[in-house]
Amino acid sequence: MAEVVFRDLAERQGLGSRIISRSAGTGDWHLGERADHRTLDALTRRGYDGSQHRAKQFTFASFADNDLVVALDRTHERNLREWARDEDEEGKVTLLLGFDPDAVTHDVPDPYYAGPEMFDSVLGMIETATRGLFRQLEPAIRRPRTPRSPGALSGGLP
């Protein structure tokens, strides 16, 4: 959900070509599979297209490939920080809901064992926090490209 929402927001702001966003899980349980149909249904109800998503796994190399690594809950955040090989990699890890000043929790709940309404609720949380994340990144994304600054920001969104 988070990757789809972030990509959509970047595209609507005319910055899609300046951002690389990848979703990856910390486990290999669903590699290559599409998102859960309830995720796709929730996204579709809000006007997003999640049909191209396929599950990938975060690896040690993912740290080098990303400027920012966004975790959706503290368990994933802890795992990612433990996998980091140095302080620079560890410093790339942040929680998505940290970008929502009104969030009442640090963790985006996993709606898998709940009903479809929970998928809609989780999507709402992700939309709000993603807008906050984008507001923080947007000035750097809009900055003109120079030989010393990368042309695109990327972030791993589980």
Report the catalytic residues: 110
Strands 153-156 and 68-71, by their bridges, are parallel
Rounded Cα distance between 46 and 129, Å, is 16
Q: Where are the alpha helices (DSSP H) in 26-101?
A: 37-45, 60-65, 74-83, 87-91
The DSSP symbol for 1 reads -
Q: For the CA atoms of the chain, what is the radius of gyration?
A: 15
* CB 105, CB 87: distance < 8 Å: no
Rounded Cα distance between 156 and 63, Å, is 9
